A and B are shown apart, each in its own frame.
Chain A
Amino acid sequence: MAITFQAQLGPLERKLLGEVWSRQSVTVRELLADGKIRLAYTTVMTTLDRLYKKGLLDRVAEGKAFRYCCRCAPEEVPQLSALTNMQRWIANADVSSLHLSCFVQAVGEHDVRLLDELRALVENKRRELKNGRHS
């Protein structure tokens, strides 16, 4: 399985992502079972957890462990990775002068969440004022 992106992921992350993609869904124990990967259980577990946090893998609980699967095809990984990074950056940075159209998708999703939060704040304040008037 050729994973073409290089910059965002380390060699071990790329290798494990390729393995998960080729098996569709897998647990850490299954990855280690056939002996192709000679690493400590905790190393594989931590790396898969990191890939999950980067938004490249999905996981569901299975007993005491997790079963991992890819969130997208390998050719879509760079785009998804960039999107996740941008969303994280937007959430943490001051982007008052952000006008670049290539950020539209990430910004759009961030905007929807932000507006929902603002609406909730407005409704809370309205209730607060109404309660203050009645009491």
Chain B
Amino acid sequence: MIFAVRILLVALGFFGVLYCLSSLLLVCGWRCFRFLSSKRSSMQPGTLFALRLLPFAGSVFVTIALGVPAFLRLESNAIDEDMGTVVFCLVALVILAAGAYHVITAHLKTSRLVAKWIGGHTVSAGMVTPASRASGAPPLLLVGISTPQVVVSEAAVALLTNDELRLALQHEMVHMRSRDNLKKLLFHCVPFPGMSDLENTWQEAAELAADRHAVSNSGEAVDLAAALVKLAQSTPLQNPPALATGLVSDIVLVKDRVEGLLNWNDWAAGTAQSGVWFIFAPALAFSFYVATHYGEALLLTHQITEWFVH
């Protein structure tokens, strides 16, 4: 029993160290990338999402594949454990607790705001729900994680033509199919200081991708662009709640989106830069190497762990 607790301690400590180091590496690498590339990133949202979750997923994978087996194979069955392991374990617990706290507060804030905006209406999955006239309600909002729904303000219905409203809804449906609110929830689950810029870049890329997939010709693109400008002019721009997606929130992004939509032919013909292989190729190579040299990898992991703890 005590040995099982010790395994848990070591696994958590191992995960905590790996997660902090890999997240720090990502934050520094991302900042360098942003510093060196002057223009807005043209990476696909999927790549940015994978990049953001890589430290967590990688840390869990390495802990399960290497950390725990190395401990079981190379460590004695003693029940005492070094203080260093306990400290690293506490770090991991703080990270997990911070993630849980972020998720709960984000969920509560989002629910409270959405409840205020939709007034007494009940909402059901997949339905388009009219928002109340409450001041400050965004024109269109995708809310919900497991059963997402689009909330439309009465102002948006009054302001937009039928075609514009249809395309605005289509844009939100693309977010719904991409499960973007769930992705936001995952970001909140794995917090780390300095990640907000990467998350904002993902958000911008997701908006551009939703625009691109919501329209199928130049006429529709112009209608969606008109909807964006009308809504940005008529309602004060605001960031959507943490676990929701809004149609218009940032003026600079609105400008980029409108310009992209007005040049839809070029935009649709060009392919967004896919950097997903830059992430997965090294990860696959690493996994292959570990699989073929498993014994050595375990030994190395054990030595590194011992060095860290002592």
Contact surface of A with B, Cβ cutoff 8 Å? 94-98, 107, 111, 114-115, 118-119, 121-122, 125-126, 129
Contact = CB atoms under 8 A, between A and B. Distances in A.
Contacts of A98: 252
A115 B234 CA distance: 10
A94 B197 CA distance: 15
A129 B197 CA distance: 38
Contact of A125 (B38, B200, B222, B232): B222
B252 A115 contact: no
Given A121-B262, A122-B258, A129 B233 contact: no
Interface residues of B, number: 24
Contacts of B254: 115, 118
B233 A119 contact: yes
A42 to B, nearest CB: 41
Contacts of A96: 40, 204, 250, 252-253
Interface of B: 38, 40, 197, 200, 204, 218-219, 222, 225-226, 229-230, 232-233, 237, 250-255, 258-259, 262
B200 A114 contact: no
A114 B251 contact: yes
Given A115-B251, A126-B222, 16 more contacts: A96-B40, A96-B250, A107-B251, A111-B232, A111-B251, A114-B251, A114-B255, A118-B254, A118-B255, A119-B230, A121-B259, A122-B222, A125-B222, A125-B262, A129-B219, A129-B222
B174 to A, nearest CB: 21
- The CB with the most chain A CB atoms within 10 A, among B233, B251, B259, is that of B251
Nearest to B38: A94
Contacts of B204: 96
Given A115-B232, A129-B218, A122 B225 contact: yes
A17 to B, nearest CB: 33
